[in-house]
């Protein structure tokens, strides 16, 4: 019975988390880049960024950011369920 109470507490804690991932790709006069960040309950929890080859299009930068964000979600989804907005 104690294990069930503990499990319920853990599940409640997990479901109360609000996780948002923001991804972006950009091309400026300084170069091409891709980035994403993860907010957990409105607190900056993780960030990733990369400079891409200057010959890449902004479309490639956007796809790279989305690809990395999705991969991170797939790795973490068993730990933290994401809330899509």
H-state helical runs in 1-85: 2-15, 58-76
Residue 81: pLDDT band with limits 50, 70, 90: low
d(CA 68, CA 59): 14
List the beta bridge partners of residue 39: 20, 44
pTM for the full predicted model = 0.69
User: Six-digit token pair at 52?
Assistant: 């891409």
List the beta bridge partners of residue 44: 39
Residue 27: pLDDT band with limits 50, 70, 90: very high
SS3 78: coil
CA atoms within 13 A on the CB side of 77: 9
SS3 63: helix
- What is the per-residue pLDDT for 19? 78
Each residue's pLDDT tens digit, 36-76: 998 888 889 889 999 999 999 999 999 999 999 988 888 87
């Amino acid at each position: 019975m104690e294990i069930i109470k503990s499990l319920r507490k853990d599940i409640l804690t997990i479901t109360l988390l609000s996780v948002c991932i923001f991804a972006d790709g950009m091309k400026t006069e300084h170069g091409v880049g891709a980035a994403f960040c993860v907010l957990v309950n409105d607190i900056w929890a993780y960030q990733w960024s990369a400079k891409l080859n200057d010959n890449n299009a902004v479309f490639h930068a956007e796809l790279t950011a989305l690809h990395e964000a999705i991969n991170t979600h797939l790795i973490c989804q068993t730990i933290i369920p994401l809330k899509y907005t």
